[in-house]
């Protein structure tokens, strides 16, 4: 168990004067994912109450966006109090901790939001990477952090001794220094991947097992890649579509850990399939979540290449709205997600639109949807 000080302040923000403030909204007292759960699974009274609270929540988001726009556009004095009370949408609140090669116990805060770089590359990389990830979500999707309510972005660096991994533990992102791999903070798509796990947990709660787990993994690869592409302002034709290319060393037998454009080719024993015909059934890796994620990864890549331009615009928006859709359930399959992306694309762009057709074609290309669907 890893702890960071003041964990209870998650989803609170520091006001302009540095004083912690808590938003006074019913919609903020109950986390949105709990409201979503009641809206989906509750009885009629619970559904009605949840939908009302969610409507309030949406209203608050609108007020916060408006307040932010006013602040950034004019700096109007009269709105300062409102902005302070509502937090600072559009601004991340990052907290980077050093656990000094331990795997449990307390970690030390080494860099907080707004502070200058410190003498530790891993801490600075985590700080910058979380900022870049927040920027994509805010700029493109108007999402305010992991929970869309300004949740603190907490990262722990130097976890374990030579720990060859990074993970999301439900509260924070944890990064190892690596032994077979380089330190995991070196890669922006790794940082984006881990933060997206938090977003997925807050939105649909996709179970981390079997097909729903592979979909969960794929969403993290997709948005991890989008973070990098947005940072570099790369059109789809220039993106490398690789995951983990920055953390494999010269002795690793491959160019990356995963290749979204061509699953199964990133390294010499890359087990990822790119089509449902090759779906892998296994007990390991939580039912092959890092293996079968190649299938929806390839679907997203196919869609993005078909639409051309920047992947974070149409393709990214369709994926983002689908992962937020109330019909995406914890045990949803690839096919369920494919249907939702089609629903979203038709609603956003039109039933016969290029985007909607491209979404269907992409899922058919990887064997998730049938040719007649």
- CA-wise closest residue to 362 among 344, 343, 342: 342
> Residue 320 and residue 161: Cα distance in Å, rounded?
36
Nearer to other proteins, 196 or 360 (CB): 196
The yes or no reply on residue 64 touching other proteins (CB under 8 A) is no
Tokens 């077979």 map to which residue? Answer: 180
Please report, as residue ranges, which positions from 284 to 313 form the binding site for other proteins (by CB under 8 A): 284-286, 289-291
All residues at 6 or more sequence positions from 216 whose CB lies less than 8 Å from its CB, including other chains = 197, 200, 206, 207, 208, 289
**DSSP code string of 107-137:** -EEEEETTPPP-S-HHHHHHHHHHHHHHHHH
The yes or no reply on residue 202 touching other proteins (CB under 8 A) is no
The yes or no reply on residue 158 touching other proteins (CB under 8 A) is no
Whether the Cβ atoms of residue 194 and residue 185 lie closer than 8 Å to each other: no
The yes or no reply on residue 197 touching other proteins (CB under 8 A) is yes
Handedness of CA 147, 297, 184, 163 (dihedral sign): positive
The binder of other proteins chosen from 32, 87, 244, 264 (CB under 8 A)? 244
The yes or no reply on residue 136 touching other proteins (CB under 8 A) is no
Nearer to other proteins, 127 or 208 (CB): 208
Provide the CB-side half-sphere exposure for 116 (13 A, CA): 1
Nearer to other proteins, 119 or 170 (CB): 170
The yes or no reply on residue 233 touching other proteins (CB under 8 A) is no
The yes or no reply on residue 84 touching other proteins (CB under 8 A) is no
Q: How many of the chain's residues bind other proteins (CB under 8 A)? A: 35
Q: How many C-beta atoms surround the C-beta of residue 25 within 10 A?
A: 17
Nearer to other proteins, 50 or 247 (CB): 247
Whether the Cβ atoms of residue 132 and residue 194 lie closer than 8 Å to each other: no
Tell me which DSSP letter residue 87 carries. -
Alpha helices (H) in the chain, listed in sequence order = 26-29, 32-41, 44-74, 80-85, 121-141, 188-203, 210-232, 285-288, 294-307, 314-324, 334-349, 354-365
Which window, 11-19, 86-94, 250-258, 359-367, contacts other proteins (CB under 8 A)?
Answer: 250-258
Nearer to other proteins, 119 or 250 (CB): 250
The yes or no reply on residue 27 touching other proteins (CB under 8 A) is no
Q: What is the per-residue binding string for other proteins in 338-367, x denoting contact by CB under 8 A?
A: ------------------------------
- Looking at 194, 197, 202, 325, which residue is catalytic? 194
| CB 201, min distance to other proteins, A | 8
The yes or no reply on residue 55 touching other proteins (CB under 8 A) is no
Whether the Cβ atoms of residue 13 and residue 68 lie closer than 8 Å to each other: no
CA angle 301, 90, 186 (to 5 degrees): 55
The yes or no reply on residue 50 touching other proteins (CB under 8 A) is no
Query: Is 290 among the catalytic positions?
Result: yes
Whether the Cβ atoms of residue 86 and residue 79 lie closer than 8 Å to each other: no
The binder of other proteins chosen from 97, 134, 141, 168 (CB under 8 A)? 168
> Residue 34 and residue 93: Cα distance in Å, rounded?
23
Nearer to other proteins, 203 or 314 (CB): 203
| CB 298, min distance to other proteins, A | 15
> Residue 330 and residue 116: Cα distance in Å, rounded?
40
**Which residues are the active-site residues?**
194, 290
Question: Could you list the residues that contact other proteins (CB under 8 A)?
Answer: 164-170, 180-181, 184, 190, 193-194, 197, 201, 207-208, 216-217, 220, 244, 247, 253, 257-258, 267, 269, 271, 283-286, 289-291
């Amino acid at each position: 168990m890893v702890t960071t000080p003041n964990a209870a302040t998650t989803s609170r923000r520091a006001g302009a004067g540095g004083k912690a403030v808590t938003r006074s909204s019913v919609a903020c007292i109950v986390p949105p994912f709990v409201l979503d759960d009641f809206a989906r699974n509750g009885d009629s009274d619970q559904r009605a109450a949840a939908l009302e609270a969610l409507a309030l929540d949406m209203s608050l988001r609108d007020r916060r966006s408006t307040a932010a726009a006013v602040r950034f556009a004019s700096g109007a004095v009269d709105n300062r109090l409102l902005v302070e009370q509502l937090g600072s949408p559009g601004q991340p609140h990052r907290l980077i901790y050093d656990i000094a090669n331990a795997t449990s116990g307390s970690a030390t805060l080494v860099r907080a939001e707004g502070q200058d770089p410190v003498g530790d590359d891993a801490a600075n990389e985590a700080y910058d990477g979380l900022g870049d990830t927040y920027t994509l979500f805010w700029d493109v999707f108007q999402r305010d952090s992991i929970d869309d309510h300004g949740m603190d972005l907490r990262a722990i660096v130097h976890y374990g001794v030579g720990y060859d991994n990074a993970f999301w533990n439900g509260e924070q992102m944890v990064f190892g220094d690596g032994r077979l791999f380089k330190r995991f903070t070196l890669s922006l798509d790794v940082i984006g991947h881990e933060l997206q796990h938090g977003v997925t947990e807050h939105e649909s709660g996709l179970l981390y097992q079997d097909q729903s787990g592979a979909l969960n993994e794929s969403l993290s690869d997709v948005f991890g890649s989008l973070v990098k592409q947005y940072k570099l302002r790369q059109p789809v034709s220039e993106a490398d579509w690789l995951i983990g290319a920055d953390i494999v060393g010269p002795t690793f037998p491959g160019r990356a850990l995963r290749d979204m454009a061509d699953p199964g080719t990133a390294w010499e024993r890359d087990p990822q399939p790119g089509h449902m015909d090759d779906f892998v059934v296994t007990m390991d890796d939580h039912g092959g979540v890092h293996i079968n994620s190649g299938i929806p990864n390839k679907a997203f890549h196919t869609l993005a290449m078909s639409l051309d331009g920047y992947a974070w615009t149409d393709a990214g928006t369709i994926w983002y709205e689908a992962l937020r859709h109330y019909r995406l359930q914890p045990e949803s399959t690839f096919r369920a997600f494919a249907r939702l992306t089609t629903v979203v694309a038709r609603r956003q762009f039109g039933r016969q639109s290029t985007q909607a057709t491209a979404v269907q074609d992409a899922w058919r290309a990887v064997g998730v949807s049938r040719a007649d669907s």
